[in-house]
Structure 1
């Protein structure tokens, strides 16, 4: 790890928070509380009254479940379509049509079909997360060069060995790129779904705080979403580093 680069990134964050504190102190605007006031409210908001177990953990569960289903469905389908140009040509218009429909636009349909609750929220996250994973995997599976294909044919590499030993490793950087993009989309959709169709979760708590004019608490929930997004992306980035450390293109991208 490049510790100097790591320290610089955190230094920028610290400077930003200090400027935020200074600006909010000078402005003294109740709609924009200072970081210290938000921090003072966060502990009770996140952990008081059972909020962590009744709201934070269920939100994480719905988020990760929808994202995981999208991975399990999108990666195999993307590998299959990416290595079948004729099939992809038939399905491409439909894929890009459905991809262009935002999950938020389908909220009324999801509410009618699945009702209020966890199922609707998981389906909304799944819909939004599926397309980046699927389309990036298709692109990755297409990127296998002719030399690898001819070498595999010469050595009789077929079936599972061909998929797991050639296609998947070649497509892996694109797959991880799709997974990381899908994770960011999933966080947004998780909060949105809980704003409109839930009786628990981070989004539910956020909209309740806003409706009750508990503005520091509202900001505390917004900060929690940012923190969770950072932590989840960090964990996935570490998994990507371990899985692709052997890949020349990935190491070059890290500047190694």
Structure 2
């Protein structure tokens, strides 16, 4: 083994040990900061007499009563179901259509103006039209969420496919890979970092539209119950709904981050090695 190779191996091992030693600290920081904020909120609001900012103790009691028992099956599960189904539809359609638009230039020229036009209209602004034409059913909310969250991942996929390194494509041609093998082995891996970046934006948009769609005429769902509490001057119930939305948003982002780290382990590892060099 040459001296250069030995030095590279030692440096790589040192970076891996250093990163591993920092993980407990980062994990403790990630968990500790929210706990400290909750503790500060608890003691800061303990003697609050403001009707719009009740003590955290009362909010947690209302949270337990509402969301852990009474409305778990009737409101939380339908909201999560609509969110997951719509987001998966948006990801599937966005990736497939994005690959087609990225590879087939005539199709891109035809559909790109339509995509740019529709994506510039906020889905929230279209919700009243959807409700007026299709009613208040779950199908309308799923459609609205999927439509709103489609465009970030669609555009990211198109950009990722079109930005594929020409050297990779030339290598695929040298090895005489078929179109399907080139797509599976070159285009998708090369564009996957941008696809996941768009999917993260789509996740956030889907969560926002899920809440908004339930606030417009829906009888069930987390957004509907939170809006009902606000209209009924049930401030504690409103804060309990806001707290639940924050928890669900954090959990959704956590699950996405874990999936992204596992799917892009090769890419994240290469990025860390490049930055360390």
TM category (shorter chain) comes to over 0.9
Is 1:103 aligned with 2:106? Answer: no
Give the structure 2 partner of residue 44 of structure 1.
65
Match among 75, 84, 100 for residue 55 of structure 1:
75
Runs of 4+ in 1 over 6 A off after TM superposition: 253-256
Which of residues 248, 252, 264 is equivalent to 1:232?
252
Alignment of 1:70-219 (within 5 A): 70-219=90-239
Partners of 1:117 and 1:197 within 8 A in 2: no
1-side partners of 2:270 and 2:40: how far apart? 36
Q: Is the 8 A contact 1:245 1:251 kept in 2?
A: no
Query: SS at 1:81's partner residue?
Result: helix
Deviates more, 1:77-86 or 1:18-27: 18-27
Q: Does the CA-based 8 Å contact 2:48-2:55 persist in structure 1?
A: no
Partner of 1:12: 33
Q: Residue 34 of structure 1 aligns with which residue?
A: 55
Q: 1:7 to 1:144 in 2, by over 3 A?
A: same
Going from structure 1 to structure 2, the CA distance change for 1:250 and 1:25 (only over 3 Å counts) comes to farther
Q: Normalization by structure 1: what TM-score?
A: 0.92
Q: Is the 8 A contact 1:117 1:199 kept in 2?
A: no
Distance 1:230 1:186, change over 3 A: same
CA 1:24 to 1:255, structure 2 compared with 1: closer, same or farther past 3 Å? Answer: farther
Partner of 1:3: 24
Deviations 1:178-197 (A, max 9, x none): 11111111111111111103
SS at match of 2:149: helix
- Structure 2 unaligned residues grouped into runs of 5+: 1-19
Larger Rg: 2
TM-score by length of 2: 0.86
The answer to whether the 8 A contact 1:75-1:133 is kept is: yes
Where do 5+ consecutive residues of structure 1 fail to align? none
Deviation at 1:209, TM superposition (A): 1.2
Residues 69/235 of structure 1: CA separation in 2 closer, same or farther (3 Å cut) = same
Q: Give the distance between the partners of 1:255 and 1:38, measured in 2 at CA.
A: 45
Alpha-carbon offset, residue 46 of structure 1: 0.3
Secondary structure class of the residue paired with 1:247: helix
